[in-house]
Amino acid sequence: MTDQHRITAAISAVAGERASVRVDGEGRVGVVLDATGLGQAERDALEQRIRVAAGVADLRIVVTAARVERRLIAVASGKGGVGKSTLAANLAIALMRGGRRVGLVDADIYGPSQPRLMGVEGTRPTARDKRLDPVPTPSGVPLLSIGQLVEPGKAIAWRGPMTAGALSQLVDADWGAVDTLVVDLPPGTGDVQITMIQKHRPAGAVIVSTPQDLALIDAARAIDLFRTAGVPIIGLVENMAGYACPRCGELSDPFGQGGAEAAAKALDIPFLGRVPLEIGIRTASDAGQPPALREDRVFAPIAAQIAEWLATN
Ligand SMILES: Nc1ncnc2c1ncn2[C@@H]1O[C@H](COP(=O)(O)OP(=O)(O)OP(=O)(O)O)[C@@H](O)[C@H]1O
Ligand SMILES: [Mg+2]
């Protein structure tokens, strides 16, 4: 085997089809490395492996990368406390289990809750070249949260431009091969929502509501905000729909029933499904073990509709 063949074979062995090797007339080796979808750390590691495998001092590596088309799904509600964060975490996991490469952004500057929900409270993201590296979570969905950028327990009182800057740091982080970013928004129709819409153009929005009339009226406001800005509404999810008593099994409807489905119809948006009010959902969430990680008949069908929507829009 000539030297040239040996080097080419050694490089293919570590980089496969990502590397194409050229040797010029003077025997200098050049590698064009396709790093599409790799994060910076993975790129550096691969480059290093190629250098070791090639075993030549004079090795030129040119790194190229096609842009990964990354789409944002905003999870929003008009009213606070209706279960956006719970939905965002579990839908991210269910979408990942359905085969997408998913990341989670917690954009709630008033009450970031994803670090706890995803079981990584207290972990801080690292940064390189001023770009954040998302924090891996036990679920497999990487996370970046506003809560990871501030001191725990400190109130966040940011003005518009700071909020916008922080959001960009999260969204434009080194997401590597992630193709779908689920964004957990704060409640309402404020600064964060507007920045998200104008600067980061979500592919679509999922609106969460409880069956209560008041929550539904607020949901209509959130829907209007996205619609006016030209962000399609993927659909409405009803959370805390029906309560099964853990002792006697009796079903009750503390917040009414069927309200969200009727509201979705009236507002002419798809109804994606309901999530029951279940103590197990709260306790698993509080323990940093999102219920979608277990047997999941609730979140998976909703995620499947979102995936279907993404495939056709
Ligand atoms: N289906 C459910 N069953 C039981 N508890 C739930 C359910 N959905 C959410 N919860 C609980 O309700 C509380 C509020 O949920 P969550 O934090 O997801 O709401 P949110 O809309 O993100 O709130 P905020 O507006 O404050 O960001 C949490 O304690 C959560 O565990
Ligand atoms: Mg929340």
Whether 288 is in the pocket of ligand 1, judged by its Cβ within 6 Å, is no
pLDDT digits (tens, 9 = 90+) for 139-190: 999 999 998 988 766 666 777 788 889 999 999 999 999 999 999 999 988 8
Q: Which atom of ligand 1 is nearest to the CA of 108?
A: 27
The pLDDT tens digits of the residues spanning 235-281 come to: 999 999 888 777 887 778 876 677 889 999 999 999 999 999 999 99
Q: Are residues 45 and 123 in the same domain?
A: no
Nearest-CA residue for ligand 1 atom 11 is 282
Q: Where are the beta strands (DSSP E) in 45-91?
A: 59-64, 71-76
pTM above 0.75, yes or no: yes
What residue owns the CA closest to ligand 1's atom 19? 83
Give the CA distances from residue 209 to residues 73, 187, 222, 292, in Å, rounded to whole numbers and listed in that order. 17, 11, 10, 19
CATH number of the domain that 10 lies in? 3.30.300
Give the pLDDT mean for 199-227: 91
The whole-angstrom separation of Cα 107 and Cα 27 is 52
- Which pair of structure tokens corresponds to residue 111? 């009450």
- Domain at 211, CATH number: 3.40.50.300
Closest ligand to Cα 80: 1
pLDDT at 163: 86
Q: State the total domains in the chain.
A: 2
Residues 108 and 126 in one domain: yes
Coil, helix or strand for 39? coil
Of 30, 49, 64, which residue sits at a domain end? 64
Give the residue, by CA position, lying nearest to ligand 1 atom 28.
Answer: 282
Question: Going by CA atoms, what residue is nearest to atom 8 of ligand 1?
Answer: 83
Is 38 in the same domain as 183?
Answer: no
| Domain ranges, residue 161 | 71-312
Is the C-beta atom of 148 inside 6 A of ligand 1?
Answer: no
123 and 82 housed in the same domain:
yes
134 & 12 share domain: no
